[in-house]
């Protein structure tokens, strides 16, 4: 059984959620899950076609969703996303910072500075900007749930040639803890999900061998599905998680504990 089989009907009734990177992959599944459980979901993504398709999937099954074209590194676009959501829906309760990219792989001694800047800009600056403007809206109502997406690479190296991605996800985990200090008094919790290898357009673009090799190492015996990550995002967005703050929840089928154990 994966997270896709479960629904807590009405868990997010009346809540408004913004899911960046919600057009596909982990963000796509998170948007569907939050909507299925009652949230009004705003999908913010660069990919208009995939975003519109995910909105259609949600609305055809009775959910409430809309799409906003937004590059998370563009401050004006992020501000417009938050202001537009407030104007249309009156509130922002949940922000899932899922938009992110992987890196073209190269050892540190061959890594172009431009690639380092491209990946860290999207993964760190995007998370920062969306949090900055969503937090302001959440503070006004003294309620918010922010869920960042880190990676198992923030706790151990997972691929050769991953310098920009590892840097970006280490920063996302650290910022998750930093923002607890600044947002808890405003009724906002900040947590992160750290996915292990998960079957999405991002990982499928690296070819079937990468996922097949990883699968052999995973104690749960299968690669993660986007719905497994969406289940963790929904939990951290829910009131069941109201006393959980500043945590990075690893969702990897046990991969990192086994890798750590065999290395000692
Ligand atoms: N798939 C995995 O194995 C895995 C593992 C660990 C962490 N993650 C993280 O999970 C998140 C989602 O990954 P995924 O595998 O679903 O990727 P994906 O490529 O399938 O989906 C990413 C989405 O983000 C959007 N996006 C990219 N750059 C954007 C930008 N600048 N502004 C707005 N939207 C943008 C894309 O259009 C796409 O819809 C990422 O942060 C990724 O680093 C994924």
| Per-residue pLDDT at 207 | 86
Which pLDDT score, from 0 to 100, does residue 206 have? 85
DSSP result, 209-251: HHHHHHHTT-TTSSPBPHHHHHHHHHHHHSGGGTT--S-EEEE
| Active-site hit among 109, 133, 165, 243 | 165
147 three-class SS: strand
Q: Give pLDDT tens digits for 93-117.
A: 999 999 999 999 999 999 999 999 9
Number of the ligand 1 atom closest to the C-alpha atom of 229? 10
Low-confidence ranges of the chain (pLDDT < 70): 1-5, 260-264
pTM: 0.97
Pocket of ligand 1 (CB under 6 A): 20-21, 23-27, 45-47, 50, 70-73, 98-101, 122, 126, 149, 151, 195, 197-198, 200-203
Task: Using the mean position of ligand 1's atoms as its centre, give its distance from the Cα of residue 26 in Å.
Answer: 7
Say how far apart CA 200 and CA 56 lie, in whole Å.
19
The preferred substitution site among 20, 27, 102 for testing ligand 1, maximizing ligand atoms within 8 Å of CB, is 27
Which atom in ligand 1 lies closest to the alpha carbon of residue 47?
37
pLDDT for 228 equals: 98
pLDDT value at residue 53: 98
81 Cα: distance to centroid of ligand 1 (angstroms): 18
20-36 confidence digits (pLDDT tens): 999 999 999 999 999 99
> Of 24, 68, 99, which is best to mutate to test ligand 1, by the most ligand atoms within 8 angstroms of its C-beta?
99
Which residue minimizes the CA distance to atom 38 of ligand 1?
21
Nearest CA to ligand 1 atom 14: 25
For residues 211 and 36, the answer to whether their CB atoms sit within 8 Å is no
Instruction: Give me the pLDDT at residue 3, please.
Output: 58
Q: What are the structural domains of the chain?
A: 8-263 (3.40.50.720)
Helix (H) or strand (E) segment spanning residue 62: none
User: Quick check: is 165 catalytic?
Assistant: yes
DSSP 3-state of 33? helix
Report how far ligand 1's centroid is from the alpha carbon of 200 (Å): 8
- Cβ neighbors of 18 (< 8 A, separation 6 or more) are 41, 42, 44, 81, 82, 85, 92, 94, 95, 96, 130, 134
pLDDT given at position 264? 43
């Amino acid at each position: 059984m994966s997270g896709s089989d479960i629904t807590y009907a009405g868990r997010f009734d009346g809540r408004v959620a913004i899911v960046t990177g919600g057009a596909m992959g982990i963000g796509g599944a998170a948007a569907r899950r939050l909507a299925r459980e009652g949230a009004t979901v705003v999908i913010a993504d660069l990919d208009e076609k995939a975003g519109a398709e995910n909105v259609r999937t949600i609305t055809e099954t009775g959910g409430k969703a809309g799409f906003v074209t937004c590059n998370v590194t563009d401050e004006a676009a992020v501000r417009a996303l938050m202001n537009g959501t407030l104007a249309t829906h009156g509130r922002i309760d949940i922000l899932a910072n899922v938009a992110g990219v992987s890196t073209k792989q190269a050892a540190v001694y061959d890594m172009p500075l431009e690639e380092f800047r491209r990946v860290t800009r999207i993964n760190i600056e995007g998370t920062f900007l969306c949090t900055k403007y969503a937090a302001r809206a959440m503070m006004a109502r003294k309620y918010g749930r922010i869920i960042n997406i880190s990676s198992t690479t923030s706790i151990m190296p997972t691929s050769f040639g991953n310098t920009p991605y590892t840097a970006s996800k280490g920063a996302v985990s650290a910022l998750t803890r930093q923002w607890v200090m600044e947002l808890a008094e405003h009724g906002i919790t900040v947590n992160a999900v750290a996915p292990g290898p998960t079957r999405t357009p991002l990982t499928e673009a690296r070819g079937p061998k990468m996922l097949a090799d990883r699968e052999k190492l995973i104690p749960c015996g299968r690669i993660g599905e986007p719905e497994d990550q969406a289940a963790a995002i929904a939990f951290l967005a829910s009131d069941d998680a109201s006393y959980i703050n500043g945590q990075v929840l690893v969702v990897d089928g046990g991969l990192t504990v086994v890798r750590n154990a065999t290395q000692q």
